[in-house]
Each structure stands twice: as structure tokens, then as C-alpha cells.
């Protein structure tokens, strides 16, 4: 299943409830939480996520770009986020954290930075619902897609398929109408798009268009589909 998760990092925060209403066909809302420590940017935290939960019925896909994920991540599950992503580089006990998130009713997801090797962390797949391959350096929206991450996406897809295809493969960074097909062909099935959605005159139409592009790419490259 192809999923589009618009990132509200590119939305108008002064009118956030209205902005959420402009992406009604999205599969989830991607919420970037940054602490100015793990990444050189500061965004929002738990109180704002709690408010967002009250402002939309769409599932929340929380991406934590923060230090000490073991301590802070469970709180986002507790306030009703359907999926919580922690960075493997920021978790001291990733296996236990994934299990804790699931025990709170959230899907457990793990992110990998561009410079982090995938192979040493593939043993985590059995604990996860989603694996996020960063296709830019985390911390800022609007960056260009890193083409050299396509091989990592493909490796993630092969590993997921070997386990039965249950884990979603998400990509985040530089996803737009020009790059989404390449990411889909490599094996991604879940796509975070910020400026490509919210810079459009009709964000919801942009969501639909991106989904169609990804699905078309997967259809023509059936070897990358989940088994």
C-alpha cells in the first residue's frame, strides 16, 4: 500500500488547524519534532502535538529528531499519536523503546540518517512497524533529495521482503513529483512530502498526484513490492 504523509513543517503554523484541513486525503500527518540538539533546528514539542491530536482525525506520524529518545518518545504515544519514529542514533535501547511504543498503542518506527550504515540495524526489523530512510540530512525542510540513498532504500526493501514485507519503508527528504517515482522504484512505499504539498495551490490535489506517481512507479517495477 502506498501512503503519503504530508509534513506540516512546510505548513502555515499560524493557521495550523486550517492547514490540516487542506490535506484530508493524506494517509497521515507527518509531524517533525526537533530539539536543537540532535539536529540544528528547533520546532515543536509534546504540548503542540497534543493540540494537533485534537485538531485532526488523521493519523499522526511523529518524527522525533531529538536526543534521549528513550525518555521522551513514549509520551507522544501516550497523547494519541498513531506512529512514533525515533532515530537509532539517539536511542540507547532501541529494542526496548520500540516495544514500549507498541505497548502504548502506537506503531514503532526507526529512522536512519544518511551517514548511518543500515546493515548493523537490520536486526531491529522484527520490532518495527516502519523503517524511515532519511533522504536528506535531518533538521530542515526544503532540501534536495540525495540520490545516493536509493541504494539504501533498495537494501531496506530487500531486508523487509525477506521478513515477509510487514514493515513499511518510509522516505523523508526532497520528495516531490520529480523524485517520488525513483524512491518508489527503489522500494519505498511511504512518502513524506512537505513543500511539494504545501507549496501547491491545492495541497490535497498534490497529495493525490504524488500517490498516483508512486503507485505507477511501483506497478512498473513489481520486484520492489512487498511480498
- CATH of residue 9: 3.20.20.70
Positions annotated as catalytic residues are 32, 172
Mean pLDDT for the stretch of residues 93-108:
98
Measured distance CA(55)–CA(49) in Å, rounded = 10
* Residues of the chain above pLDDT 90, percent: 92
Q: How many domains does the chain have?
A: 1
Give the residue numbers spanning the domain of 120. Answer: 3-224
Render pLDDT for 138-197 as a digit per residue (tens, 0 to 9).
Answer: 988 788 999 999 999 999 999 999 999 999 999 999 999 999 999 999 999 999 999 999
- Which long-range contacts link 161-166 to residues 24+ away (Cβ below 8 Å)? 161/226, 161/227, 163/125, 163/126, 164/227, 165/225, 165/226, 165/227, 166/129, 166/226
Q: What angle (nearest 5°) sits at the alpha carbon of residue 22, between those of residues 21 and 28?
A: 75
Q: Is 172 annotated as a binding residue?
A: yes
pLDDT greater than 70 at residue 222: no
Q: Is 221 annotated as a binding residue?
A: no
Q: Is 25 annotated as a binding residue?
A: no
With beta carbons less than 8 A apart as the criterion, state whether 104 and 128 touch: no
pTM of the predicted model over 0.75: yes
Q: What pLDDT sits at residue 140?
A: 82
Measured distance CA(68)–CA(61) in Å, rounded = 19
Q: Is 173 annotated as a binding residue?
A: yes
Q: Is 142 annotated as a binding residue?
A: yes
Amino acid at each position: 500500500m502506498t501512503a503519503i504523509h504530508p509534513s506540516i513543517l512546510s505548513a502555515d503554523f499560524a493557521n495550523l488547524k486550517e492547514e490540516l484541513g487542506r490535506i484530508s486525503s493524506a494517509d497521515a500527518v507527518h509531524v517533525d519534532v526537533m530539539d536543537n540538539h540532535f539536529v540544528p533546528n528547533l520546532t515543536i514539542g509534546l504540548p503542540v502535538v497534543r493540540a494537533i491530536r485534537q485538531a485532526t482525525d488523521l493519523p499522526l506520524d511523529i518524527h522525533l529528531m531529538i536526543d534521549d529518545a528513550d525518555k521522551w518518545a513514549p509520551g507522544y504515544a501516550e497523547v494519541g499519536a498513531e506512529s512514533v519514529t525515533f532515530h537509532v542514533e539517539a536511542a540507547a535501547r532501541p529494542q526496548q523503546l520500540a516495544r514500549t511504543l507498541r505497548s502504548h498503542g502506537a506503531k514503532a518506527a526507526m529512522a536512519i540518517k544518511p551517514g548511518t550504515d543500515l546493515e548493523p540495524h537490520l536486526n531491529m526489523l522484527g520490532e518495527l512497524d516502519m523503517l524511515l530512510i532519511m533522504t536528506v540530512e535531518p533538521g530542515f525542510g526544503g532540501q534536495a533529495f540525495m540520490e545516493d540513498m536509493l541504494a539504501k532504500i533498495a537494501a531496506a526493501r530487500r531486508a523487509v521482503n525477506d521478513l515477509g514485507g510487514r514493515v513499511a519503508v518510509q522516505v523523508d527528504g526532497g520528495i516531490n513529483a520529480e523524485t517520488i517515482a525513483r524512491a518508489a522504484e527503489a522500494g519505498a512505499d511511504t512518502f513524506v512530502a512537505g513543500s511539494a504539498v504545501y507549496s501547491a495551490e491545492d495541497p490535497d490535489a498534490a497529495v493525490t498526484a504524488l500517490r498516483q506517481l508512486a503507485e505507477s512507479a511501483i506497478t512498473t517495477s513489481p520486484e520492489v513490492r512487498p511480498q
